[in-house]
Each structure stands twice: as structure tokens, then as C-alpha cells.
Structure 1
């Protein structure tokens, strides 16, 4: 069932994304929110590019000290913003998203994803932005990743983090590594579980460019857990192999093109040689 609801209850918004419940169902909706691991809604369904989006939600079972991670994905499947929101003792959370700025410039559907502690506790709501730049199929895109995943060179890498947020990630083909940029407000833990198609043979972890001992590498599951200090900005996981920047087919096409150029060049030289 969708995470978006509408009720007349004083503790819930009067208009929620994608629904229109009657007053008689308000109590039932409140009970349903208590049963869902996490729910999320917004104050409207449509916004312009200079509006504030009010995001509210509820967590069913509150774990003290754990925030809700909010990730906004654009119509081009790129991450617009990532933030962590505190949860009240009764499970409520709320934040405001400012739609001004270059990352919000495209028109279309923006997905607001929320996560609370584990993969199972996630949900999302969608809003429409208009009055900006039209997004087209020719616009650059990346693979759409889930709530607990970060996109790196078009690959989705599962992760969990406490004490900070993951802001971006890239695959470094020169050093056979994945570089994860983080905003560490406190001492925390980052765990990533990339597939072996992305990286394998993981043997070293760097934090802000220094070899890091407070890390656990589980080779049979390709999982890495890193304990980082407050203020850390970058975690790099190094392996013996990372997915090439160009796919196999692209590499084959490049090889064929090079061979063709060499063949044509050789034929041209032969054609201009004097004959006796």
C-alpha cells in the first residue's frame, strides 16, 4: 500500500500525495500508519521550482538515536539531496526541501525516498515540479538505485551508514577502487556490499587517503564495514578488480575501430608506393 495518505486528523496533513480518504477513515488511517515500518507524505502533489516541499512521516517502532535518511531522486534518476532527519519519541519526523537550485531545475517527477535503519524499513512519495527545464529521453541518466543504494558510474552499490551521510560515489578504474564521499557529523559506521561484478578481491580501505585499520572485510559476501571518525570526508575501498569504465562491447568496438584504421592506413601507404 502507498505511503501517502490524506485525512482530516489533526496530527496528519489534510492533503497527501496520491490519496483522498474521507473523514470516516481517518482513525483507520492513523492505525495503519502505526503498523507500517515507515510512512512518508508531502503537503502537496505539485510544486514550482521556487517552492518549499514539506515532508512528513511516521516510524512505527522508534529506536532511540536513529535518524530517518531522506534521499531525493530527480526525473533523470540522479540524487538531488541526501539528509538525515531526527525522529521524535512518538515516531514523527518532518523536514522542508527547497526546490530552488541547479539540481532541481528539471521538470518532472521527483521521488522522495525514506529509510529507517534497515532495508525493510523504507518507503517513498512522488511529487511533480513544473515551470523549469523539460527533461527529455536524451538527457543524461544513471541507473535508478534503491533507497539503500548509491550510484557510482551508473552502478548501484548497497550501503548503510550511521553518524553521517553518503553524498556521492565514483568507481576509480585507475586504482581498482570505489571512492565514497561522506559527511561525517559524528563517529560512525559505513557498510557497503558491492557485487563482484563491480569490485572484487577487496584487500584495503583508506579513510581520507590514509590506510585504515578500523575496517572489516568479509570476502565471501564482498562486504566492507568501516568505522570512521567525526569529520571524515572520504572512504576508499580498494580491490584487485573494478568494472571497466567502458563495457565489453564498447571495448570490442574500439578495438575493431583501431584495427580498421591501421588496415586502411597500411593500404593507403601501399597504394602510393611507386611500382617498377
Structure 2
């Protein structure tokens, strides 16, 4: 082998050695980087079963929430015990958890102060027996620890009790365009020369009192149903008996001619529909009279006869 061939072979061997060392260094460097990345990863539960994995995840989650609260069931009867449990993330000495229960009608059912254990857990029992728990529906259990920021809630359903009856608002009477409302009754009317501002039923005088704004001389025609007023026989305008009146006994229609400036027209009859309070008073009076009569009869029956 001549000298030129020897130099070529030596150069080839040097190049191969350099590539081998570079590859080995690269593999070692990548291995070191992977080890550093693995050290930065959070610990994994390699051989845990699904339940243990869920428990571990739940524990980690509760540590990030100021206060957690839950119950042993979601549905209860009205004579059950509700087991309320919870966890406080960061406990403070001298503080307890305030547990408040709110009913479906938004009223407070009970308030309880619960001590917190060293590990941050707390637990209490709630008895659903009692009048404050009588309604079916969703009850909200609130847990508060020291401040409003550290609060949480859970909801449960109570069944098998009384159905909650929502309070009903009294319905307002809606009358037609040519009708006016008087004590919840619609009375047909027409007017010229002015406007009707209001009307009411006077049960004491058996009359309908209508307030008007009369800019000119005009006419007011009123046709109350006979169940509202009957037996119309007199009309007063601003407190004085009025003669310019036409009364139709058959149709129960009354027409009044008034002067400009008139303010109040009172139509008097022999009957007007009584108010609810009047009906209740009449029923009460009849009931009292009946009781007195029965009592008197009973006393007479026990008097010895000679």
C-alpha cells in the first residue's frame, strides 16, 4: 500500500469515529433531557384502580376549593336524617362552619354551628321531622366558614309531604272600553260633556257613586246589572236630589242630565251587591244566632220537669 492510499484510509477512519461519538453524545443528551422532564411531571397513580384514582382526584380538587359540602343522599322523606359532610381547605383556629337550611318557600328552616376537625373535615346530622320541613321540594343547605368567600351549598329533595302551595295574588278586574270598575264589578256606561274618573259601590246606602269631570253640560247613562244594583229610584248630583233623570225599571238603565262643573253622581237603589266583608259578617251573625238557639234549647231539655 503506498503512502497516498494510507492517508485516505486514515481520513476515512477518523470521520467514522467522529460520527459515532456525535451520535452517542446526542443520545445521552436526549436521555438527560427526558429524565429532567419526567422529574417535573406530577406523580402518577400507576397501579391504582379507578375508584382510588377518583378519590385521589377528588382530594386534590377539595384542597383547591375553600369549602366543600355534600350529603349522603340526594332525596329524603319527611322523617329522615340528612348526613351533611364537608371539607375546609385552610382551617383557622376558633372558627366553625355555619350550616343554614333554606326551604322551597325561601324561609330559614334551621341554623347549626359545626366544629371543624384537624384535617379540615366537618359533619352534622339534620332531622327532617317537623313543621318547618313539611313541604315537598328542593331544600338548600348552605355552609359558610368565616367569610362570604368561603361558602358553598348543596341541594336535596324532600318527598312524601305536603305540596307547596304558592300564594296567589288577587286578580284585577279588566273591564271593557265602555265599562267602569266599581268594587271589582264592571258597569256599562256612556257620557257626553265630560269624563268618568272613578266609581265605587256604597253598601250602606245601596248606591253607586260615580265621580266625573264635567267640562260642559252633558248626559251620563249607566246600566248596572241587576246582580250589582237593582230597584233604582233616586239620583243625587253633588249631594242634591236630581230631577233631570230617566229610569228604566225593565232594563235597569238610568240617564242623568248634569250641568258643567258637576263632580259626583250617586245612583240609589233598593239593592247593591254586598262586599265580601259584609257577607262574612252576615254568615257569622247567623252562625252565632244558631249557636245561641241550640244552647238555649239544650238548657231547656235538661231542666227537670215536675
Looking at secondary structure, tell me which structure has more strand per residue: 1
Between structure 1 and structure 2, the one with the greater Rg is 2
Looking at secondary structure, tell me which structure has more helix per residue: 2
TM-score (norm 2): 0.41
* Greater RCO (Cα-Cα under 8 Å, separation 6 or more): 1
TM-score (norm 1): 0.45
